[in-house]
């Protein structure tokens, strides 16, 4: 009996040591930014393509794929600068005599550097690398570190916040690059490996299975450009896996047991910010298309079907009077859009697209997200209980079929972009509480003209150069009329202050 107590005591001691070790590991210097014509992306058919593995491989036999893929996944470290404003403390003697407002606005801007860490996947021997947009977003410098310890400065080629993908490049040749697989062929329960640099550690491989496909989690909604007159919707159709993914895995590889890339790890579902059992990866079907567009055009060419979709379930189907309970209900069709031109009508239910049965809006957006304006999409519709097939020619954001250059999209926002900030319209409720008819809130300040002033994030602009500002369109119009060498006078307030502030912004 005594020996049993000694054994239990020893086990308890070991357990506490392991727990402490795990705790220290999780707390280790986490600097990750927490929170898709012929493709120029090469596909190899050599050693990796002939590897044993895949869905039929023996579970647990991961070594061949892991050893081959590890050199193709890189560590990415970024340096970024942000503006921090601190309250300058006033000596008590001045506060006593003149009050807290003595000296005017005492908040002083200060530039502060920070670092972040993530992963990336080499897709060509001459140095092109795919990663997440949030890994390199707003970075001043991007450093890529190979598994052999070589380090390179990288250039950001293009980014796409709506799929959270980016392409960067290093000046190197004869690099090992990954095979692009087929995410459509993935099966639930199939073994996969996640390869990356979690928690700023060295290259790490974890294993799990495909838990779900076409998963929408709403994490990319924050990337919608609210200053855009025609904002695009994010494309979320994540592969869900239980392979352990932590901060730092962002931009790393999700591969099958043949060593083929089937996704780019992007997010985790967690209450703590660390692995809790669910990780999400952008499917390689989107990675191929988005990276090819970024390399060829500088921006993503998006096709539009021109409908207002509603995802059906039994309750919605009853409300809409639909004959079936699954599919995408067409609530409306855009006038002169692709769907209307093809013959789709309000009340139709899209049950198949490109031969795939449609169960979710996310799935439909992912299928369309792989295509460009002018591409034909085969659509099967249930209309009044019978099925009909349509060929829908996708349109661009302007209703045409041509490629839209990056400069065309950003031209309308060029003036606002020079301010180096993101803006949002003041809600009607907030405007009422503040006693104004409208305004524009400074949501985030990065680099630009506002960073050179004392304007703080949260500032609400109500006038610019003497004209009322109720929406971002008003501010854009005023900015567009400012001539070179002239200034911009902003008048507004902060949410918890009744005082009006005046800021002169050099333009």
- Structure-model confidence comparison of residues 69 and 48, the more confident one: 69
Instruction: Quote the CA–CA distance of 23 and 6 in Å, as a whole number.
Output: 26
pLDDT score at 366: 93
Q: What are phi and psi of 157, to 5 degrees?
A: -85, -40
pLDDT tops 60 at residue 228: no
* 287-307 tens-digit pLDDT: 999 999 999 988 899 999 999
Eight-class DSSP state of 395? B
**Spans of all domains in the chain:** 63-296, 307-393, 411-506
Give 331's contacts (C-beta < 8 A, 6+ positions apart).
Answer: 307, 308, 309, 310, 346
Residue pair 411/365 in contact by the 8 Å Cβ criterion:
no
- What integer pLDDT is reported at residue 492 of this predicted model? 93
Average pLDDT over residues 316-328: 93
Span 195-207, mean pLDDT?
93
Of the pLDDT bands very low, low, confident and very high (cuts 50, 70, 90), residue 411 is very low
* Average pLDDT for 393-417: 70
pLDDT higher than 90, residue 469: yes
Average per-residue pLDDT for the chain? 81
Mean pLDDT of 1-19: 39
For tokens 């993503």, what's the residue?
Answer: 300
Strand partners, 131: 166
Whole-number pLDDT of residue 147: 95
Q: Active-site residue among 160, 164, 425, 474?
A: 164
More confident residue, 207 or 418: 207
- Burial state string for 367-378 with b = 16 or more CB within 10 A and e = fewer than 16: bbbbbbbeeebe
Provide the pLDDT confidence category of residue 92 given band limits of 50, 70 and 90: low
| pLDDT at residue 413 is higher than 50 | no
Tell me whether residue 412 is exposed, middle or buried, using C-beta atoms within 10 angstroms of its C-beta: 0 to 12, 13 to 18, 19 or more. middle
pLDDT band at 75 (very low <50, low <70, confident <90, very high): very high
Residue 274 has pLDDT above 90, yes or no: no
Please spell the DSSP secondary structure of 102-149, one letter per residue. Answer: TTS--EEEEEEEEEEEEEEEE-STTSEEEE-HHHHTT-SEEEEE-TTS
Q: Which two three-digit tokens encode residue 78?
A: 């970024």
pLDDT at 382 over 80: yes
Under CATH, which number does the domain 307-393 receive?
2.30.42.10
Q: And the tokens for 478?
A: 């005023």
Average pLDDT over residues 178-185: 95
Range with lowest mean pLDDT among 89-93, 115-119, 453-457 = 89-93
Whether pLDDT at 16 is above 70: no
The tokens for 464 are 């610019």
Task: Quote the pLDDT of residue 207.
Answer: 95
Q: Is 348 annotated as a binding residue?
A: no
Does the annotation list 250 as a binding residue? yes
Reply yes or no on whether the pLDDT at 13 is more than 70: no
N-to-C CA span, the chain: 83
The Cα–Cα gap between 281 and 264 comes to: 5
164 in a labelled binding site: yes
Asked if residue 189 belongs to a known ligand binding site, the reply is no
State residue 84's pLDDT score: 55
In the annotation, is 134 catalytic? yes
Predicted confidence band at 406 (pLDDT cuts at 50, 70, 90)? low
List the structure tokens of 55: 């869905």
Told to judge if 250 belongs to the known catalytic residues of this protein, a careful annotator would answer: yes
265 burial class (0-12, 13-18, 19+ CB within 10 angstroms)?
buried
Please say if 140 is a catalytic residue: no
Question: Catalytic: which of 117, 134, 183, 200?
Answer: 134
Q: What percent of the chain has pLDDT over 70?
A: 77
Q: pLDDT tens across 418-456, in order?
A: 788 888 888 888 888 888 889 999 988 877 788 888 898
Is it the case that residue 94 has pLDDT exceeding 50? no
Specify the range with the lowest mean pLDDT, choosing from 177-186, 203-212, 334-343, 424-433: 424-433
The answer to whether 290 and 160 have CB atoms below 8 angstroms apart is yes
Establish whether 134 is an annotated binding residue: yes
- Please give the Cα distance from 173 to 160 (Å, whole number): 26
Owner of token pair 């790490």: 204
d(CA 15, CA 383): 63
CATH topology identical between 63-296 and 307-393: no
User: Residue 107 has what pLDDT?
Assistant: 52
Residue 142: how many CB atoms within 10 A of its CB?
Answer: 26
Count of Cβ atoms closer than 10 Å to residue 485 Cβ: 7
Which CATH number, 3.40.50.720, 1.20.1090.10, 2.40.10.120, 2.60.120.280, labels domain 63-296? Answer: 2.40.10.120
Percent share of the chain, pLDDT over 90: 52
Higher pLDDT, 272 or 90: 272
CB 226 within 8 A of CB 424: yes
**Going by DSSP bridges, is the β-strand pair 260-269/179-180 parallel, antiparallel, or unpaired?**
parallel
Higher pLDDT, 159 or 402: 159
Whole-number Å distance between alpha carbons of 133 and 253: 15
Are the CB atoms for 154 and 119 separated by under 8 Å? Answer: no
State pLDDT tens for residues 95-105. 444 444 444 44
The CB-based long-range contact list for 353-358 (8 Å cut-off, 24+ gap) reads: 353/377, 353/378, 353/379, 353/380, 354/378, 358/326, 358/327, 358/328
Give the model's pLDDT for residue 381.
97
Strand 253-255 relative to strand 191-196, pairing: antiparallel
Give residue 86's pLDDT.
52
Q: Is the dihedral of CA 46, 64, 131, 266 positive or negative?
A: positive
**318 versus 44: which is more confidently predicted?**
318
Q: Residue 482, CB half-sphere, CA atoms under 13 Å: how many?
A: 24
Question: 140 vs 8, 371, 422, 501, CA distance in Å?
Answer: 54, 32, 18, 31
Mean pLDDT within 179-193: 95
CA 473 to chain centre: 25
- CA 7, distance to chain mean position in Å, is 51
CATH code, residues 411-506: 2.30.42.10
Among 250, 266, 285, 415, which one carries the catalytic annotation?
A: 250
């Amino acid at each position: 009996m005594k020996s049993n107590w000694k054994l239990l005591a020893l086990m308890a001691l070991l357990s506490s040591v392991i727990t402490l070790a795990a705790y220290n590991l999780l707390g280790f210097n986490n600097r990750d930014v927490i929170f898709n014509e012929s493709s120029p992306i090469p596909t190899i058919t050599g050693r990796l393509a002939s590897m044993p593995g895949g869905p039929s491989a023996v579970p647990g036999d991961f070594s061949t794929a892991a050893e081959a893929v590890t050199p193709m996944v890189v560590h990415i470290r970024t340096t970024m600068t942000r503006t921090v404003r601190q309250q300058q403390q006033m000596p008590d003697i001045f506060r006593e005599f003149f009050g807290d407002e003595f000296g005017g606005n005492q908040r002083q801007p200060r530039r502060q550097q920070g670092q972040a860490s993530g992963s990336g996947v080499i897709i060509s021997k001459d140095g092109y690398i795919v990663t997440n947009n949030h890994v390199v977003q707003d970075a001043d410098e991007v450093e890529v570190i190979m598994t052999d310890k070589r380090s390179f400065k990288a250039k950001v080629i293009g980014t796409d916040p709506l799929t959270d993908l980016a392409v960067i490049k290093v000046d190197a040749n004869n690099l090992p690059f990954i095979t692009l697989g087929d995410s459509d062929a993935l099966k639930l329960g199939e073994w996969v490996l996640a390869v990356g640099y979690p928690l700023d550690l060295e290259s790490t491989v974890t294993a799990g299975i495909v838990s779900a496909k076409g998963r929408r989690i709403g994490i990319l909604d924050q990337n919608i450009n609210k200053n855009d007159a025609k904002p695009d919707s994010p494309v979320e159709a994540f592969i869900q896996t239980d392979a352990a993914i932590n901060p730092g895995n962002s931009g790393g590889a999700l591969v099958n047991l043949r060593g083929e890339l089937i996704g780019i790890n992007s997010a985790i579902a967690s209450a703590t910010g660390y692995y809790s059992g669910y990780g999400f990866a952008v499917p390689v079907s989107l990675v191929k298309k988005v990276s090819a567009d970024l390399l060829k055009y500088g921006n993503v060419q998006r096709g539009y079907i021109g409908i207002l979709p509603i995802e059906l379930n039994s309750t919605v189907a009853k409300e809409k009077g639909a004959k079936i309970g699954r599919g995408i209900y067409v609530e409306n069709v855009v006038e002169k859009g692709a769907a209307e031109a093809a013959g789709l009508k309000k009340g139709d239910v899209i049950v198949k697209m490109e031969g795939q049965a449609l169960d979710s809006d996310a799935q439909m957006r992912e299928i369309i997200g792989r295509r460009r304006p002018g591409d034909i999409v085969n659509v099967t519709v249930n209309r009044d209980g019978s099925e009909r097939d349509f060929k829908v020619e996708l349109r661009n954001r302007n209703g045409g079929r041509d490629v839209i250059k990056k400069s065309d999209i950003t031209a309308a926002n060029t003036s606002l972009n020079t301010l180096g900030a993101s803006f949002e319209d003041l809600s009607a409720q907030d405007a009422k509480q503040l006693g104004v008819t409208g305004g524009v809130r400074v949501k985030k300040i990065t680099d630009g003209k506002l960073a050179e002033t004392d304007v703080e994030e949260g500032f609400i602009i109500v006038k610019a150069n003497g004209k009322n500002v109720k929406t971002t369109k008003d501010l854009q119009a005023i900015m567009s009329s400012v001539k070179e060498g002239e200034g911009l006078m902003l008048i507004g307030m902060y949410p918890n202050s009744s005082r009006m502030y005046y800021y002169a912004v050099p333009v």
